[in-house]
């Protein structure tokens, strides 16, 4: 199976390298950014181009580009045969119907950084395709790179992406606020790490709802009022504190 | 050194058992709840009472009771000699001054569940005392049970507690919201676990502020508007989404 990878960002890089390691042939890497495309192509023994009119014929095209340019990028590929898949959480499969291509999705639910190696055994991969053969191709590909592979339709994938924003992006922002609060007391963020780790470990045996602790779920107004007054220089954090505490109370 | 433990909840239990394992002598466990006090006393080879007028003489009294009854509980102890310490994040050391006792604080920054064993090597312990000898006693005690022990004054400890609410209690609530969102799409919370773990792992090499990813920090209005409309049945989650996204934007 010949693969062309379109995009050379974090997802494209880790996915192409995992496929290469699993024995797949990457014939070409395509990206506007010469520096990125070249170094990715080198690492997976592939040809490369920055010219979207020169995309080669292949069995599988993987588009890992930003949502904003995804549709336009697919449309610019002169090759219309083969299976075309994107890797975006919030973009539907119907995108390809409109463009008259055999389409699919490979959505790895993980946060990737270029410089950090990825253990694909720890990456749930959500696949979707309109044809049964294509779906099986994507499932096999997921298994070959070591992923736990699940089927998810476009609606489920959008819910996954939304849930990931709460559990990952927003969580990280709460860590950033905690870091700032500690800095004001000359304490390093590291002292919170064991507590954060235990918060996650608990969800292995209790649902997050059952595992809830803290002043809000105890309705400890005394502590909550102390905390709110300590946040008086940070009205936005105060509002976050108030809103999340109300939401916890409502949930219990 | 003779120790009396006052309280028989989660913190009291894990702390008393760790001290016992480290070779300290617990002479007595004191708690209103007969069932709890008896089983904790058994496990640390101690006497017990539910009568606060019968607290025995000791070198160290550890109060692990709720903030609301802490002051009253200390006052009810007929013994005024020895070192009296509490384990509460948000209560000041000056509490003891008012009660004319030698006072201190042992604040373990961890979330405890009775049925789950605690690795004290993973628990940062924050100590405070007015006397230098007492401070050294508490530091040694912390080291003896395997904790990483830090000095923190009452203001720092209150900031720690506040930061912990953001990083642990509020984070857990975001997990609960993510769980509900996934449930609506018939997906289990478990699929998010690798992503959540990686979010924490990243903070070992990047500060949370630097590690921020997601639609808000990218100013991806297209995705954010899609997400907000998907939350239309949950106005409170919508408000949380909006407020946290604004706060991320403001921070970058």
Collect all residues of chain A within an 8 Å Cβ-Cβ radius of residue B240. Answer: 170, 243-244, 247
List strands edge to edge, sheet with A83-86. Answer: A47-49, A25-30, A2-6, A60-63, A83-86, A102-108, A124-129, A148-151
Q: What's the ipTM?
A: 0.90
Closest by alpha carbon to A120, among A112, A131, A128? A112
Interchain proximity B251–A217, CB inside 8 Å: no
The reported pLDDT for the residue numbered A18 is 97
B55-68 pLDDT, tens per residue?
A: 999 999 999 998 88
- CA-closest candidate to residue B96, choices B124, B114, B121, B77: B77
A59 CB burial (10 A radius; 0-12, 13-18, 19+): middle
- E strand or H helix at A80: none
- Cβ contacts of A16 within 8 Å, gap of 6 or more: A5, A26, A29, A40, A43, A44, A46, A62
* Residue spans of chain B under pLDDT 50: none
Could you give the angle at the alpha carbon of A240 between the alpha carbons of B175 and B226, nearest 5°? 65
CA distance B103 to A109: 50
**Report field, pTM of the whole predicted structure over 0.80:** yes
- The residue among A71, A90, A178, A240 with the most chain B CBs within 10 A of its CB, best to mutate, is A178
Task: For residue B241, list chain A residues with Cβ-Cβ distance below 8 A.
Answer: 165-166, 170
- Write out pLDDT tens, residues A109-159: 998 877 778 889 989 999 999 999 999 999 999 999 999 999 999 999 999
Out of A163, A212, A230, closest to residue B181 by CB: A163
DSSP 8-state secondary structure symbol assigned to residue A58: -
Q: Strand order in B148-151's β-sheet? A: B47-49, B25-30, B2-6, B60-63, B83-86, B102-108, B124-129, B148-151
A-B CB pairs within 8 A amount to: 299
Candidates A164, A178, A222; nearest CB to B163: A178
Beta strand pairing status for B60-63 and B47-49? unpaired
pLDDT of residue A118: 87
Residues in chain B within 8 Å Cβ distance of A149: none
Give the model's pLDDT for residue B115.
75
User: Closest Cα of chain A to B51: distance in Å?
Assistant: 26
Min distance A181 CA to chain B CA atoms (Å): 6
Q: How far is A165 from chain B (nearest CA, A)?
A: 7
For residue B118, what pLDDT is reported? 87
* Average pLDDT along chain A: 95
Interface test with A, best of B155, B156, B169, B250 (most A CBs within 10 A): B169
Kindly give, in sequence order, each residue whose CB lies less than 8 Å from that of residue A142, ignoring residues fewer than 6 positions away: A106, A125, A127, A149
CA distance A81 to chain B (A): 30
Give the model's pLDDT for residue A112: 83
């Amino acid at each position: 199976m010949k693969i062309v990878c379109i995009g050379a960002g974090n997802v494209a890089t880790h996915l192409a390298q995992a496929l290469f390691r699993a024995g797949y042939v990457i014939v070409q890497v395509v990206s506007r950014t010469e520096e990125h495309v070249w170094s990715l192509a080198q690492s997976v023994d592939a040809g490369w181009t920055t010219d979207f009119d020169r995309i080669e014929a292949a069995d599988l095209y993987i588009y890992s580009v930003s949502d904003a340019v995804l549709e336009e990028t697919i449309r610019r590929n002169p090759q219309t045969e083969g299976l075309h898949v994107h890797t975006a959480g919030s973009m539907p499969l119907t995108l390809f119907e409109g463009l008259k291509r055999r389409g699919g999705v490979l959505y790895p639910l993980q946060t990737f950084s270029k410089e950090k190696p990825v253990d694909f055994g720890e990456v749930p991969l959500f696949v979707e395709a309109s044809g049964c053969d294509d779906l099986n191709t994507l499932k096999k590909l997921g298994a070959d790179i070591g992923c736990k592979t699940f089927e998810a339709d476009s609606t489920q994938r959008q819910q996954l992406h939304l849930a990931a924003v709460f559990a990952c992006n927003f969580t990280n922002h709460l860590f950033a606020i905690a870091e700032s609060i500690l800095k004001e007391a000359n304490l390093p963020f590291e002292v919170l790490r064991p507590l954060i780790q235990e918060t996650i470990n608990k969800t292995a045996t209790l649902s997050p709802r059952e595992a809830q602790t803290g002043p809000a779920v105890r309705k400890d107004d005394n502590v909550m009022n102390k905390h709110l007054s300590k946040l008086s220089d940070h009205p936005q954090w105060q509002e976050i504190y108030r809103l999340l505490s109300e939401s916890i109370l409502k949930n219990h």
